[in-house]
């Protein structure tokens, strides 16, 4: 957070609150480094002037779709804007070219249908409201225009909706790729075939997110190993000698990270197997 601007008596501000995190109020008195504040719940509190932040009185009632439009880009201002939009089921908000998504914990299928994909297809970034399709479209167009690989980073804490967001990105990219077949498979089919690996990413039981079982994670990991070409014999050996001991040590933290181990060890095992065959032929 940036350093707050000058606070005077009468300033509308944000002050920390043990229950609400931040609460708005008005400064009614200042003595040295301390400010007396009449907060919106009717109580009065005293806080350090350096710990309070000005409230954006010009922010629209429904919030703004891009945080850079806020007068003050500090924590309480950002959280207030996100909360305001969330109450209206506006789960997406930009901060420049970064998209912030808040898990709605309900179905909003109208946000991801074909009509919505057609709406964002080819539209310059920022002309339409914030959406995961806009990010996917911008990344795709940049890749095509510059003729080089591109990537989209999806991050967040457990249960934030990273896996579902990634699925929406993949669906939109499959839509952009059309139905042209390559090696007998359409683009959409090829994308959907990556789902076992994706399931190994996000369908893990954690303290904050109980959306799967150990059995499901085990099967997802086996399917992921099938995708990268690890044989059944090699899978059993990998599970017995590497993954199960790791699981015992890392408990619930291991399953959502198995895709990394699988992808790295899959090619290594295949390479070592080929090397063994080559050496055997030369003996």
Contact 194, 242 (CB under 8 A): no
Are 261 and 243 a contacting pair, CB within 8 Å? yes
163 is in an annotated binding site: yes
CA distance 35 to 32: 8
How is residue 147 annotated by DSSP? T
Residue with tokens 């808040």: 102
Are 12 and 54 spatial neighbours (Cβ–Cβ below 8 Å)? yes
Query: 158: annotated binding-site residue?
Result: yes
Residue 202 is assigned to a ligand binding site: no
For 57, the 3-state DSSP assignment is coil
Q: Is 145 helix (H, G, I), strand (E, B) or coil?
A: helix
Does 42 belong to an annotated binding site? Answer: no
Distance CA 83, CA 59 (A): 13
Cβ pair 43, 21 in contact under 8 A: no
Residue 140 CA to residue 174 CA, distance in Å, equals: 11
> Is 107 flagged in the annotation as binding?
no
Q: Is 277 marked as binding a ligand?
A: no
- CA max distance for the chain: 90
Which tokens in the block code for residue 176? Answer: 């952009």
* 162 carries a ligand binding annotation: yes
Residue 147 labeled ligand binder: no
Instruction: List the binding residues for ATP.
Output: 156-163
């Amino acid at each position: 957070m940036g350093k707050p601007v000058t606070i005077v008596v009468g300033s509308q501000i944000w002050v920390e609150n043990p229950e609400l995190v931040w609460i708005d109020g008005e400064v009614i008195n200042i003595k040295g480094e301390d400010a007396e504040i009449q907060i919106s719940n009717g109580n009065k509190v005293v806080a350090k002037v350096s710990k309070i932040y000005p409230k954006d009185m010009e922010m629209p009632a429904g919030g703004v779709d891009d945080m850079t439009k806020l007068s003050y880009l500090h924590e309480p201002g950002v959280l207030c804007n996100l909360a305001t939009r969330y109450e209206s089921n506006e789960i997406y908000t930009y901060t420049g070219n970064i998209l912030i998504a808040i898990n709605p914990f309900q179905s909003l299928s109208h946000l991801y249908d074909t009509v919505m994909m057609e709406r964002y297809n080819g539209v310059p970034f920022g002309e339409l409201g914030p959406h995961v399709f806009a990010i996917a479209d911008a990344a795709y167009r940049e890749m095509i225009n510059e003729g080089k690989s591109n990537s989209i980073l999806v991050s967040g804490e457990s249960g934030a909706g990273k896996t579902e967001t990634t699925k929406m990105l993949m669906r939109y990219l499959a839509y952009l790729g059309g139905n042209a077949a390559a090696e007998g498979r359409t683009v959409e089919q090829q994308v959907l075939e990556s789902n076992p690996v994706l399931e190994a990413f996000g369908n893990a039981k954690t303290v904050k997110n109980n959306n799967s079982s150990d059995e499901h994670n085990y099967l997802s990991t086996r399917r992921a190993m099938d995708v990268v070409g690890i044989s059944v014999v090699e899978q059993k050996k990998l599970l017995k000698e590497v993954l199960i001991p790791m699981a015992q040590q890392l408990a619930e933290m291991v399953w959502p990270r198995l895709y990394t181990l699988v992808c790295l060890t899959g090619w290594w095992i295949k390479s070592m197997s080929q090397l063994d065959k080559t050496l055997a032929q030369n003996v």
